[in-house]
């Protein structure tokens, strides 16, 4: 097998049997199986120096900075396929300078993430955080007064930050429950509000002011990092809830923690955190010890179903094959 027809999976997965089935004429290896421990950029460069692999498939545990990308380019890497949607673990400007094409898989788990977001919204809005047996002393558990803050869904407004595939899929689900949906996304073409029968607003302030719930679906960029900070959270009424299935750093977690602790927000449900896995994270620690019973955290699994995991691996491998063969990729990021 010629080394020029080789794909290397950089992180997360240890086996590549499935990718080999998708690419029968390509040698597919996993860095994790080669080095035997969670790989680092140094491990990647060492392995690539020994045997070239023109195309990499990367998940989310490997970070590509300018120095790493320059060295990979020197070693013959010409393409990186991100097995997922977000590319915030790759310095895109540096990849462009290194002449490395970056692609992603934007369409594998749209329904799963939208379903998860809706489940988290309902957990918040129906006050299900009051239901666990540990929420109150046993003798007070049957007191339905603990749920007195629940409001009719059909009279609530959901604010959606980011109105791409997943944002729109979440909006459709919310509309099926009768929620009014408004959204903010300056990069979506005009007229999408008419197609989706939603309300478009022109600023973050107009999105958040008076909204009953916020669901975040934008990409993590320098523009959106900590976009939901203390000032933004203060625009939401005290009965509002916050759901994030996009990227953790879009929210200033310290500000969210303080807002929840001071009861300036009713609840929050998060599938993503600023640091993953969370180590020494104040909000996560408060969640674990029960200090914030009105918070729910899931471990970045909104994207997952058995079917979406297979679809993701297949589409990532197919894109890698196109890059190897010099064909036009389906989902170039740059």
Reported as a pLDDT band with limits 50, 70 and 90, residue 135 is confident
Tens digit of each residue's pLDDT (9 = 90 or more) over 47-103: 999 999 999 999 999 999 999 999 999 999 999 999 999 999 999 999 999 999 999
Tell me the whole-structure pTM to 2 decimals.
Answer: 0.92
Q: How far apart are the first and last CA of the chain?
A: 30
- Our answer to whether residue 300 is catalytic in this structure is yes
Q: State whether 82 and 218 are in the same domain.
A: no
Of 138 and 65, which is predicted with more confidence? 65
Please tell me whether residues 101 and 130 are part of one structural domain: no
Task: Please report which confidence band the pLDDT of residue 1 belongs to, taking 50, 70 and 90 as the band edges.
Answer: very low
Are 115 and 82 members of one domain?
A: no
Alpha-carbon distance 9 to 178, whole Å? 44
| 129 and 228 part of one domain | yes
Instruction: Looking at the structure, tell me whether residues 143 and 271 fall in a common domain.
Output: yes
| Whether residues 115 and 98 fall in one domain | no
Set 126, 239, 282, 300: catalytic member: 300
Together in a domain, 91 and 236: no
Task: Round to whole Å and give the CA distance between 104 and 94.
Answer: 17
Write out pLDDT tens, residues 220-237.
999 999 999 999 999 999
Which residues, 6 or more positions from 206, have their beta carbon under 8 angstroms from its beta carbon?
184
For residues 206 and 266, membership in a common domain is answered with yes
Q: Is residue 334 part of a domain?
A: no
Q: How far is CA 144 from the centre of its chain?
A: 35
Residues 40 and 183 in one domain: no
Report the number of distinct structural domains present in the chain: 2
Return the bridge partners of 183, or none.
Answer: 160, 200
Would you call 247 a catalytic residue per the annotation? Answer: yes
* Residue 200 shares a structural domain with residue 69: no
Catalytic residue, from 247, 274, 319, 322: name it: 247
CATH of the domain at 94: 3.40.50.720
User: 185 and 74 in one domain?
Assistant: no
CA gap 31, 304 in Å, rounded:
23
Same domain, 94 and 130: no
Domain range for residue 194?
A: 110-297
Catalytic residue among 27, 61, 276, 291: 276
Asked whether residue 255 is domain-assigned, the answer is yes
């Amino acid at each position: 097998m010629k080394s020029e027809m080789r794909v290397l999976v950089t992180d997360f997965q240890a086996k590549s049997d499935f990718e080999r089935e998708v690419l029968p004429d390509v040698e597919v290896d996993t860095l994790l199986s080669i080095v035997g421990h969670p790989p680092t950029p140094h491990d990647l460069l060492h392995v690539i120096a020994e045997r070239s692999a023109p195309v990499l498939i990367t998940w989310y545990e490997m970070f590509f900075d300018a120095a790493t990308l320059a060295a990979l380019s020197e070693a013959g890497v010409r393409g990186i396929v991100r097995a997922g949607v977000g590319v915030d673990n790759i310095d895109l400007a540096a990849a462009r300078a290194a002449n490395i094409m970056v692609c992603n898989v934007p369409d594998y788990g749209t329904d799963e993430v939208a379903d998860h977001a809706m489940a988290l919204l309902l957990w918040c809005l129906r006050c299900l955080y009051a239901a666990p047996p540990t929420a109150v002393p046993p003798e007070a558990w049957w007191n339905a007064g603990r749920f007195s803050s629940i409001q009719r869904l059909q009279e609530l407004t959901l604010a959606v930050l980011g109105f791409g595939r997943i944002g729109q899929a979440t909006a459709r689900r919310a509309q099926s429950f009768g929620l009014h949906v408004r959204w903010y996304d300056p990069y979506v073409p005009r007229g999408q509000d008419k197609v989706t029968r939603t309300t478009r607003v022109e600023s973050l302030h107009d999105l958040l002011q008076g909204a009953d719930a916020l669901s975040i679906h934008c990409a993590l960029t320098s523009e959106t990092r900590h976009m939901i900070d203390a000032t933004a959270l203060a625009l939401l009424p005290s009965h509002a809830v916050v759901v994030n299935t996009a990227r953790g750093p879009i929210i200033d977690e310290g500000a969210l923690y303080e807002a929840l602790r001071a009861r300036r927000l009713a609840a929050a449900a998060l599938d993503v955190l600023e640091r993953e896995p969370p180590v020494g994270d104040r909000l996560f620690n408060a969640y674990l010890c029960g200090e914030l019973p009105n918070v729910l955290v899931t471990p970045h699994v909104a994207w997952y179903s058995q079917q979406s995991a297979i679809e993701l691996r297949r589409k990532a491998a197919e894109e890698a094959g196109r890059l190897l063969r010099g064909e036009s990729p389906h989902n170039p990021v740059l």
